Amino acid sequence: MKIRLTSVFVDDQAKALRFYTEILGFVKKHDVPVGEGARWLTVVSPEEPDGTELLLEPSGHPAVKPYRDALMADGIPLAQFAVEDVRAHYERLRALGVRFTQAPLDMGPVTTAVLDDTCGNLIQLASQPR
């Protein structure tokens, strides 16, 4: 069993695509119209173009808003991305105007930071020394 696709709910797919590609550095993999202005829109890591895809899913379902509002209010990230160096990514992304809700924090063998993706989600960056 493998994870090939996971998703984050986004308020605006075009805005999310810009943030996830131009700011975070992912690359667009699929962009297929699926009706009513929605798209099957995925991004991948440029380091693994055939790896796990992240679906930028429209947040229109009524269950999404209370779920995301509760996570945001409690400061809980919806997803986590692995990076080599959390502190370096934190500095690079802050210089690009990204808002962090948690600066880099050492948590035992893992360092984490949490950012606001501007699309309704908190995303955690994590690195673990090798």
Give the Cα separation of 31 and 33 in Å (integer).
7
pLDDT at 35: 84
pLDDT in tens, 73-111: 999 999 999 999 999 999 999 999 999 999 999 999 999
Could you state, in order of their start, the residue ranges of all structural domains in the chain? 5-127
Q: What's the pLDDT at 42?
A: 98
Question: How many Å apart are CA 80 and CA 21, to the nearest integer?
Answer: 16
User: Left (φ > 0), alpha (ψ -120 to 50) or beta: where does 89 sit?
Assistant: alpha
Q: What is the CATH number of domain 5-127?
A: 3.10.180.10
**0.75 surpassed by pTM:** yes
CA dist., res. 66 & res. 85, Å (int):
33
Sheet holding 27-35, edge to edge: 5-10, 53-58, 38-44, 27-35
Walk across the sheet containing 79-82 and list its strands.
79-82, 122-127, 110-116, 100-107
Per-residue model confidence as pLDDT tens for the chain (130 residues):
999 999 999 999 999 999 999 999 999 999 999 988 889 999 999 999 999 999 999 999 999 999 999 999 999 999 999 999 999 999 999 999 999 999 999 999 999 999 999 999 999 999 997 7
